[in-house]
Each structure stands twice: as structure tokens, then as C-alpha cells.
A and B are shown apart, each in its own frame.
Chain A
Amino acid sequence: MTTLAAPPTSLSKDEILRYSRHLIMPEVGMEGQLKLKNASVLLVGTGGLGAPLGLYLAAAGIGRIGLVDFDVVDFTNLQRQVIHGTKDVGRKKLDSAADKMADINPHVQIEKHEVALTSDNALDIIKNYDLVIDGTDNFPTRYLVNDACVLLKKPNVYGSIFRFEGQSTIFAYPGGPCYRCLYPEPPPPGLVPSCAEGGVLGILPGMIGLMQATEAVKLILGIGEPLVGRLVLYDALAMRFRELKLRRNPECPACGDHPTVTKLIDYQQFCGVPGHEAPPTPVAASGDIDPIEVKQKLDRGDKFTFIDVREPHEYQICKIPGTKLIPLGELPKRLNELDKNSEIIAHCKSGVRSGKAVALLTENGFPYARNMKGGILAWSDKVDPSVPKY
């Protein structure tokens, strides 16, 4: 049967009914709907951006959709990752997303890639799709997806979000710029907070993800003006869209006239992620203290200053009694409130910011500063389960 591999040239009666609102528009029509059916799209990430993308691209009738994810649904995802439901908590995101998409449209072929995209597998996975949609959440994967798309000449529909702001554009479109033209280098680790650290308005990835979905469908249909060479910035608080010009850089190491990135590199190292070439974090292990030990000290009535270096709005969510709130950003100006000769124990949400606080205190002549390991999350696990986790 040679027809198995041949692209479909017609729609079934069920599909004609399903896609009726597309078919009656001349810009899509039967020809366009068949383009969608014959198209393949790779969604990298099925989280905030991937959720609306998966739902709408399945509904639109994209013939084959690949999903890349290795994560499991948890409660903190549900505020924005609308492809997953409360009943899916604990399931693989791939399974949860694929089930939902198959329910929306059983005509879509869904391919699950349960891996972290790496330099070893990216080209093999991406080469099987017409275009890529980047819905990841970290710089190493962003640069990896970019370089792989440039090398394979696959358009990369980009979107990223932070708190109330989002960015979107198309990279690696023939003649257009790539991610490295926009940002030649990543920020050093820790300088730009992630959504897990900085928070994100739950609706925001819906807006940006659907801008990406729109651009993907337009690229496949070959209609309208693609978002190439333009970076759209969206500010939810102002409800304002702005557009900046984006140019292909002839000197770009990936897509320039004389590219030097001719194969995939070590992106963790490129982005200076600790554990590779970067220097170790300044947190001294000897300065760490376990929450249980802190509780024992409190119970014994030991004299020490217990500081919380989180932000005031986090302090409102939950706090440990007896702590003094000094947000990390204010600490340099508030050192005079602390006693250099007494023991100071710092905590935050998970121990990262308080690690920085202890490093800062140590540098400024506070020899008895210690970091409570695992932050208030660990306190909730080990000492007082009535403290809510967030």
C-alpha cells in the first residue's frame, strides 16, 4: 500500500463538518485545511505557553503535533497550564496534554517525546517537523532550539513571558533574524529571574502562546504577514502592544554570512549554568543549618536573629513566627539593623536567596551568619506542616 505514506488529499465527512468555520473562509478553505492536515509542528514544552498552543493547534487540525516534555503536573501549574486539570496532578504532562488534545481532535496524530531536549537529540527530533514552537523556560534550551532550527532551516516561533510582560517573534525564517541576532549572549545565571522565582500572571502565557499559535497557523497557510523581523512586546498591565524592528545580523555566529556555529554546542556551559564551568555558588555548605536544628534552637531559647529575606508579599502568604523581614534587595542598606557578634539565621522560600544573603553578610563582616537549608518550604515539610507552601 503506497497510499499510506502519501499526504491526504481530501477530508472525511466528519472533518468537513468539524472544520466548517475554516472551510467557509476563502483564506483557509479546503486547500488551507489540507495544508494544516499535512503539516507537522513540534511544541517544545507543554507548560504555560505549550498549554494554549496544544489546545488550539489540535483544534485547528494540524495533522501531526510533537510534544517534548519530561515533567509531571503539579498543583502550582494549574493557575496557567490550562491543558492540565486537577485530576492530572501527578501525571506526566505529556500524557495529560496528549489525552486532552486527542479529546479535542481525534484526527490529530500526537507524538510524545519524553526527553529533555539536548545537543544530542535536538536535531534528530526537530528534523521530522515543519516548524518548531519554543515554549521552554530557560536560556540553555532557548539557544539550543535556536541553533538547531537555524542548522535545519526550520522556522522557530518564539515566545517568552515574565510576570506581566511577554515577547514574541519568528526566528530562523528564510532571510530573517535568529535568537542570537536579538540577544548574542545569555545573561549570567541568577541575574534574570525565572517565572518560578519572579511569578507570572496566569493569563499571560495564554496571550503569548496564542500569538505563537496564530503565527504558526499563518506560516502553514502562507497567509498574512508573518511576525518576522519584528519583536512584539506585550504589557498586560498597560494592555499595550509595541513592536520593535529586528534585523538579521550579518555577523551573527549562527545565521550570519560566515557562521561559526556549525553544530550544536554545550548550552549549559554557554549559559554558565553552575555544575559546568561556572564557579560554585558562594553558599558555604558549613554555613547551612537544617530547619529541624533551627526549631530546636528556638525551643531551647538560644539567642540568635532569625531573618526572612523574601519579599513583603511573600511574607503575607506565610511566615515563621519570630522572624524579621529584610528583603534581600534591602539587605545591603539595612546591615546596621543586625549585630555582627550574634548568630544570624537567614531563610527565604527555598534557600537560594538566603544563600546570597549569607554570602553578603559574610563579606560584610558577619561571621556567624547561616542559611536555613530548603527555606520555608523545608520548614513546612519538616517542622510545621500548617505553614502553606506556594
Chain B
Amino acid sequence: MAKVLIPTPLRQFAAQKDSVEVGGGTAGEVLNALTAQFPDLKKNLFTDEGKLRSFVNVYVNDEDIRYLKKDATPVAAGDTVSIVPSIAGGL
């Protein structure tokens, strides 16, 4: 099981949880397991074509999966998967 950290703006689509334990051997499998559990998250994370949205970054531990193997990036038990969306607030 990997621990997925849900950022504040997306918690409303994940029963207000800040983290969820889900199974999966790759980043793609973990995200699929997550959106199976919380279907409302799906349109916020993926485009209609199923591609990860470009203003949502996914990290396995501290590494951006775009620079690893993207969806196929391996996730081991105990790893932390972070979803980090773009926020712009400053005022």
C-alpha cells in the first residue's frame, strides 16, 4: 500500500481526506485505485482522454514522475505519492 497525499483544493472530491492508503505497483495504478475509490477526483486529475492534467503534478516520494517513467514509475509499499496542483493565491 502507498500513501497518497491529497492537497487541500482536491479534498472536497475525496471525502475531505488529507491522505488515503491505496494499492498499486506503479504511479498510474495508484492513481487509478484512488479515482476508483473517489470517482469525483477523476475529472480533476485527468483529461477526457485520460491524460494527467498539466497543472497537476504527481511525485513519488520527492521525485516528479514526469522525469521518471511517468505512469509506469514504480511505487513500492510505504512510498508516498503526492498530488501537487497549481495554486496562485497570494493576496
**Chain A contact residues, CB within 8 Å of chain B:** 45, 47-50, 71, 77, 81, 134-139, 142, 159-165, 167, 182-187, 191-196, 198, 200, 205, 231, 233, 237-238, 242-247, 329
**Which residues of chain A have C-beta atoms less than 8 A from B84's C-beta?**
167, 231, 233, 244
Count how many chain B residues have C-beta atoms less than 8 Å from C-beta atoms of the other chain.
Answer: 24
In this assembly, does B57 line the interface, its C-beta being within 8 Å of a C-beta of chain A?
yes
Residues of B57-91 whose CB lies within 8 A of A: 57, 59, 62-64, 67, 82, 84-91
Contact A195 B91 (CB under 8 A): yes
Q: List 13 A-B contacts (CB under 8 A).
A: A45-B90, A71-B91, A142-B88, A161-B87, A163-B8, A183-B86, A196-B91, A205-B90, A233-B82, A237-B18, A238-B18, A245-B59, A245-B62
Assuming the A-B contacts A164-B8, A165-B8, A245-B63, are A136 and B82 also in contact, with contact meaning beta carbons closer than 8 angstroms in the complex? no
Q: Give complex CA distance A162, B53 in Å.
A: 19
Contact A160 B90 (CB under 8 A): yes
What 9 pairs between A and B have smallest CB-CB spacing? A47-B91, A137-B91, A195-B89, A187-B55, A185-B54, A162-B87, A137-B90, A183-B86, A49-B90
B81 to chain A, nearest CB (A): 12
B20 to chain A, nearest CB (A): 15
Partner of B53 from A71, A187, A237, A244 at Cβ < 8 Å: A187
**Which residues of chain B have C-beta atoms less than 8 A from A49's C-beta?**
90-91
Q: Give complex CA distance A186, B87 in Å.
A: 9
| Nearest-CB residue, chain B, relative to A199 | B89
Partner of B86 from A139, A164, A193, A233 at Cβ < 8 Å: A139
Contact A136 B88 (CB under 8 A): yes
Contact A194 B88 (CB under 8 A): yes
Determine which residue in A183, A193, A205 has the highest number of CB atoms from chain B within 10 A of its CB, and name it.
A183
Beyond A165-B7, A182-B86, A238-B18, list 11 extra A-B contacts (CB 8 Å).
A45-B90, A45-B91, A81-B91, A136-B90, A139-B86, A160-B88, A163-B9, A187-B86, A194-B88, A195-B89, A195-B90
Contact B8 A162 (CB under 8 A): yes
In this assembly, does B44 line the interface, its C-beta being within 8 Å of a C-beta of chain A?
yes
**Chain B contact residues, CB within 8 Å of chain A:** 7-9, 12, 18, 44, 53-55, 57, 59, 62-64, 67, 82, 84-91
B75 to chain A, nearest CB (A): 16
Contact B86 A137 (CB under 8 A): no
| Nearest-CB residue, chain B, relative to A209 | B90
Determine which residue in B12, B64, B67, B86 has the highest number of CB atoms from chain A within 10 A of its CB, and name it.
B86
Contact B90 A182 (CB under 8 A): no
Partner of A160 from B18, B44, B55, B87 at Cβ < 8 Å: B87
B54 to chain A, nearest CB (A): 4
**Which residues of chain B have C-beta atoms less than 8 A from A163's C-beta?**
8-9
| Nearest-CB residue, chain B, relative to A191 | B44
Assuming the A-B contacts A185-B55, A192-B85, A244-B64, are A47 and B90 also in contact, with contact meaning beta carbons closer than 8 angstroms in the complex? yes
A336 to chain B, nearest CB (A): 19
A292 to chain B, nearest CB (A): 32
Q: Give complex CA distance A244, B65 in Å.
A: 11
**Which residues of chain B have C-beta atoms less than 8 A from A185's C-beta?**
54-55
**Which residues of chain A have C-beta atoms less than 8 A from B82's C-beta?**
233, 242, 244
Q: Give complex CA distance A77, B7 in Å.
A: 25
**Which residues of chain B have C-beta atoms less than 8 A from A134's C-beta?**
90
| Nearest-CB residue, chain B, relative to A184 | B54
Contact A167 B63 (CB under 8 A): no
| Nearest-CB residue, chain A, relative to B40 | A329
Contact B85 A187 (CB under 8 A): yes
Contact B86 A186 (CB under 8 A): yes
Q: Give complex CA distance A133, B24 in Å.
A: 40
**Which residues of chain B have C-beta atoms less than 8 A from A50's C-beta?**
90
Contact B88 A244 (CB under 8 A): no
Partner of B64 from A81, A138, A243, A247 at Cβ < 8 Å: A247
